[in-house]
């Protein structure tokens, strides 16, 4: 897919959102109305009127009549439910979907890039909604919990330069292989490259919160590392391919930066240093790039800013890498 760089104004996008919001509200109201109308019409059928009169008079009622009445009522309810579901599906496929996709595609492929470019310090930005950082790349460095490619989703890819450092980022979701509805990670993954001209991590170093040990079971490198910082050890688990390399990279200043970032984000983070790269995974409850029909565009643009703010704060971890 080619990188899309067209722009769209917030005013025009807000009009598209309002159209999508109206159709979304109708999409959810319409099946209820169809269900009620179908039930009312069913009551006007001669056989149902006759049955109602029998029950009203209370004469000639036996077990068979009662069962027949119950089955007829259940049948009418099921027919009404099916009609409501059919109406919902038809409206969604032929009316709502086109309007929503027009709004969502413009939001993701045009507006997101426009808003990111407004943030000072970012250069050479590109954004692709349906592209992401690959499963193969992240599994190679063992960054995140979740070991099955079929239960891995990555999208909302954007790349560029921030404060002289090149980065790549995407939203990522991983799920339990035995329960595809149970997410083990939802958030943003960032890869910073060439953080120092000379200092590189010759082997991989893996850092994640201690409380996530169960999620990362069987996904860690073989060397368990205890750093010289008790505060850092109490917060994080560190695994490496080479213990000496871990001490080389995790200087007191770098560990302090990681702890500060962890406190600011106030959510689980996963970090891997490898070669000239720093991989960073930050859990988030909501994808900042997903368009919402019930939230004004001006408010949604603030969430896009949150994604760039995450990159700005993560960049600080590399300051002491550049200036040891």
Read off the pLDDT of residues 38-54 as tens digits, 9 standing for 90 and up.
888 877 777 666 666 66
Q: Is the pLDDT of residue 208 over 90?
A: yes
Q: Which residue has the tokens 């060439």?
A: 194
Decide: residue 271, CB within 10 A, 0-12 exposed, 13-18 middle, 19+ buried. Answer: buried
Name the token pair of 289. 């790039």
137 φ, ψ (degrees, to nearest 5): -65, -45
Query: pTM of the full predicted structure?
Result: 0.76
Q: Is the pLDDT of residue 209 over 60?
A: yes
The answer to whether residues 300 and 291 touch, using CB atoms and an 8 Å cutoff, is: yes
* CA 255 to each of CA 112, 284, 306: distance values in angstroms, whole numbers, following the listed order: 33, 22, 24
Q: Is the pLDDT of residue 318 over 90?
A: no
- Using one digit for the tens of pLDDT, what is the confidence trace for 231-240? 999 999 999 9
Mean pLDDT, the chain, rounded, equals 86
The answer to whether residues 158 and 125 touch, using CB atoms and an 8 Å cutoff, is: yes
- Using one digit for the tens of pLDDT, what is the confidence trace for 123-181? 898 888 889 999 999 999 999 998 788 889 999 898 999 888 899 999 999 998 877 66
Name the token pair of 290. 């997903």
Instruction: Please tell me the distance from the alpha carbon of residue 80 to that of residue 84, in angstroms, as a whole number.
Output: 6
- Position 53 scores a pLDDT of 62
Q: Is the pLDDT of residue 217 over 50?
A: yes
Q: pLDDT band at 32, cuts 50/70/90? A: very high
Q: Is the pLDDT of residue 275 over 70?
A: yes
- Using one digit for the tens of pLDDT, what is the confidence trace for 67-123? 776 777 788 889 999 999 999 999 999 999 999 999 988 888 788 888 888 888 888
Instruction: Please tell me the distance from the alpha carbon of residue 201 to that of residue 274, in angstroms, as a whole number.
Output: 5
Name the token pair of 57. 């008079």
Of 165, 144, 166, nearest in space to 154 by CA: 144
Q: Is the pLDDT of residue 5 over 60?
A: no
Q: Is the pLDDT of residue 19 over 70?
A: yes
Q: Is the pLDDT of residue 194 over 80?
A: no
Instruction: Please tell me the distance from the alpha carbon of residue 88 to that of residue 95, in angstroms, as a whole number.
Output: 10
Of 29, 73, 34, 32, nearest in space to 51 by CA: 73
Tell me whether strands 179-193 and 152-162 are parallel, antiparallel or unpaired.
Answer: unpaired
Q: Is the pLDDT of residue 34 over 70?
A: yes
- Position 309 scores a pLDDT of 84
- Position 4 scores a pLDDT of 39
- Listed in sequence order, the residues at least 6 apart from 59 whose beta carbon sits closer than 8 Å to its beta carbon are none
């Amino acid at each position: 897919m080619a990188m899309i760089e067209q722009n769209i104004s917030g005013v025009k996008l807000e009009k598209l959102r309002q159209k999508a919001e109206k159709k979304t509200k109708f999409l959810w109201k319409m099946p209820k109305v169809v269900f009620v109308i179908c039930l009312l019409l069913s009551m006007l059928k001669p056989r149902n009127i006759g049955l109602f009169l029998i029950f009203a008079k209370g004469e000639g009622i036996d077990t068979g009549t009662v069962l027949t009445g119950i089955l007829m009522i259940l049948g009418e309810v099921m027919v009404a439910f099916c009609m409501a579901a059919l109406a919902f599906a038809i409206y969604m496929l032929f009316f709502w979907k086109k309007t929503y996709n027009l709004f969502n595609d413009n939001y993701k492929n045009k507006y997101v890039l426009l808003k990111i470019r407004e943030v000072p310090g970012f250069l050479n930005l590109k954004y692709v909604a349906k592209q992401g950082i690959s499963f193969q790349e992240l599994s190679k460095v063992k960054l995140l919990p979740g070991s099955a490619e079929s239960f891995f989703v990555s999208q909302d890819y954007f790349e560029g330069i921030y404060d002289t450092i090149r980065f790549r980022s995407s939203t990522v979701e991983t799920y339990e292989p035995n329960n595809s509805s149970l997410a083990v990670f939802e958030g943003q993954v960032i890869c910073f490259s060439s953080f120092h001209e000379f200092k590189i991590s010759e082997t991989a170093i893996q850092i994640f919160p201690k409380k996530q040990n169960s999620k990362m079971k069987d996904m860690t490198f073989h060397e368990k590392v205890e750093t010289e910082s008790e505060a850092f050890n109490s917060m994080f688990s560190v695994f490496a391919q080479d213990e000496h390399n871990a001490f080389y990279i995790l200087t007191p200043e770098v560990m302090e930066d990681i702890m500060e970032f962890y406190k600011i984000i106030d959510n689980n983070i996963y970090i891997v240093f490898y070669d000239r790269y720093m991989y960073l995974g930050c859990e988030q409850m909501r994808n900042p790039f997903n368009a919402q029909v019930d939230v004004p565009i001006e408010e949604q643009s603030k969430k896009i800013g949150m994604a760039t703010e995450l990159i700005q704060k993560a960049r600080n971890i590399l300051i002491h890498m550049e200036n040891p």
